[in-house]
Amino acid sequence: MTEKTTQNLDEVTIRFAGDSGDGMQLTGTQFTNTTAILGNDLSTLPDYPAEIRAPQGTLFGVSGFQIHFGSTEIHTPGDQCDVLVAMNAAALKVNVQSLILGGSIIVNTDGFNDKNLKLAGYPENPLKNGSLGKYKLYEVDISKLTALALQDLNISSKFVDRSKNFFALGMMYWMYNRPMDTTVDWLKEKFGNKPDIMEANLRVLKAGWNFAETTEIFNVRYDVAPAKLPPGKYRNITGNQAVAWGFMAAAKKANLDLFLGSYPITPASDILHELSMYKNFGVKTFQAEDEIAGITSAIGASFGGALGITTTSGPGVALKTEAIGLAVMVELPLVICNVQRGGPSTGLPTKTEQADLLQALYGRNGEAPVPIVAAATPADCFDAAFEASRIALKYMIPVFCMTDGYLGNGSEPWLIPDFDSLPDISTKFRIEAEGFFPYLRDETTLARPWAIPGTPGLEHRIGGLEKQNITGNVNYEPLNHELMVKLRIEKLERIANDIPLATVEGKPEGDLLVVGWGGTYGAIKSAVLREQQKGKSVSQLHLRHLNPFPKNLGEILYKFKTILVPELNMGQLIKVLRSKYLVPAVGLNKVQGLPFKSIEIETKIDEILKGKK
């Protein structure tokens, strides 16, 4: 047997790819959870096919999961992967271009039969024609080896085939010196009442590890040391989970029940799934019959004294538009969480984009201003959801919380905060009847009182018709309407007094400032750090609050010669910055359903700086 050696690596990127039924998301998730427990920093990119069950072996049915992990700080899921695990020919063809030169390809040779090659569009077998010579190719008949491991169990051939992902997982656990304990415990918990299924998966997992240990084709394994992260208790978390927990924490800190009125939509549905598990923590979830019912039920919950939230994606926001205007008019706290995806219309349901900013800013009839808070990373979704809730409750106003498919489905280690350290956002309901008027405003925030239905003496009108100032009676007078419009705008603008000033990462002035929002943070940070290491005059500013902007934003922008704004859209934030601040901003735009690679931003930075020279 060939002697096995071990190499140390600072970081590595692995991509698992196969048919949508091959369990690549589960495989990647298990590898991620194990890696998180070992203390590595990490970032993931699940890549789902848009078809619910695409024809097996087709290019558009390929499902992928990429994980970038290391002993250093990780900001992105990786520009290119070091290792590609391809379960069939289509998975190889779709993903091979994302592999570095000299990278490793581990293929399931059973997925390269004549039928699969034809479906993938290969005129001849790439495993045999030398076209993969610039990579390290490892050919393993995973399907056959899985069947051998299960040959004495009385299970169906269909289930045997579905188990092969655990063989691949076992091999990767061996190659990167990961223990199997986390996955073993997960299998025992999930299939404890189905011993045959549990036994089959455990066997295949261990068979994959043992094969890698004993075969002569693998003679190197790799160690990736734990990252030096700030001390504390961590857990691996997806953006959608973090949003759900952020809302729960906000409701607890406000001493309110939490109500989610939602209609399932990719990629936001997991927030509904997550919150539905916490009914014992004052959480009520309502899966409505449509998007309109989802948001109006949440408005009703807010009217009744709960923290009302609704979750959706861009097409759902389009349907909720009139109800968002209703929430603006009645001035009740509401959070609309938009997990953005590619559009227009149904668009790219499983792919990421951040093209709904202008929709959130302006996509309503009449003058209906709404604050906007955006998350920057999967873990940061917790803070964004909490902050959106804080603003909604304090200012009695609907608020957008913007994430996207990359953030919602992606994951990273999250330092679990001390609950006591979270700010107190407790609210007070109006209970005194004397001197009550429904639109009598707080002098600082301009928020109207929150009067719960059934409170004696606090009966008042609610609805979409224009309200008379202070009394809340229906009123059509021109001057009153103009006054109310201006009051609602002024209320939003006063939020700028209650949010942190913008901060620059890097020098506070110079040649170039890279301004971003949302899920572009990691790619921008990686690119800017590399440019700073080259001695370039480049800094970064990432915006959490997009309406209103931080009060010092203009002051910061004017200290740089050029502004670069990378966005996963055709240029939406840049339009607002140019309009409001008249700055010489340059856009970098990508609408491919994929997040930025840091090299794409780095290349644009170099192009701009060379032009200036």
pLDDT mean over 176-180 = 97
E strand or H helix that includes residue 484 = helix 478-494
- Would the pLDDT of 95 be above 80? yes
User: Three-state SS for 314?
Assistant: helix
The structure's pTM equals 0.96
Contact 527, 602 (CB under 8 A): yes
φ/ψ (deg, to 5) at 198: -60, -45
Two structure tokens written together for 558? 């004017």
Two structure tokens written together for 540? 């970064």
pLDDT, tens digit (0-9, with 9 covering 90-100), for 29-87: 999 999 999 999 999 999 998 877 788 899 999 999 999 999 999 999 999 999 999 99
pLDDT value of residue 461: 85
Contact 414, 382 (CB under 8 A): yes
pLDDT value of residue 613: 46
Lowest mean pLDDT among 229-233, 288-292, 551-555: 229-233
Confidence of residue 427 (pLDDT cuts 50, 70, 90): very high
Two structure tokens written together for 551? 């009060």
pLDDT value of residue 249: 98
Average pLDDT of the chain to the nearest whole number: 96
| The amino acid at 93 | K
- Would the pLDDT of 200 be above 80? yes
What whole-number distance in Å separates Cα of residue 343 and Cα of residue 353?
8
Torsion of CA 247, 251, 254, 256, to 10 degrees: 150
Half-sphere exposure (Cβ direction) of 514: Cα atoms closer than 13 Å: 32
pLDDT mean over 388-407 = 98
pLDDT mean over 480-508 = 98
pLDDT > 70: what percent of the chain? Answer: 99
What whole-number distance in Å separates Cα of residue 250 and Cα of residue 399?
14
Confidence of residue 154 (pLDDT cuts 50, 70, 90): confident
pLDDT value of residue 2: 61
pLDDT value of residue 341: 98
- Would the pLDDT of 3 be above 80? no
pLDDT value of residue 597: 97
pLDDT mean over 498-510 = 97
- Would the pLDDT of 600 be above 70? yes
Contact 291, 297 (CB under 8 A): no
pLDDT value of residue 611: 83
Which domains, ranges and CATH numbers included, belong to the chain? 5-223 (3.40.920.10), 235-416 (3.40.50.970), 510-612 (3.40.50.920)
Contact 358, 536 (CB under 8 A): no
SS3 string, 134-201, reads CCEEEEECHHHHHHHHCCCCCCCHHHHHHCHHHHHHHHHHHHCCCCCHHHHHHHHHHCCCCHHHHHHH
- Would the pLDDT of 400 be above 50? yes
pLDDT mean over 387-401 = 98
Location of structure tokens 């750090």: 529
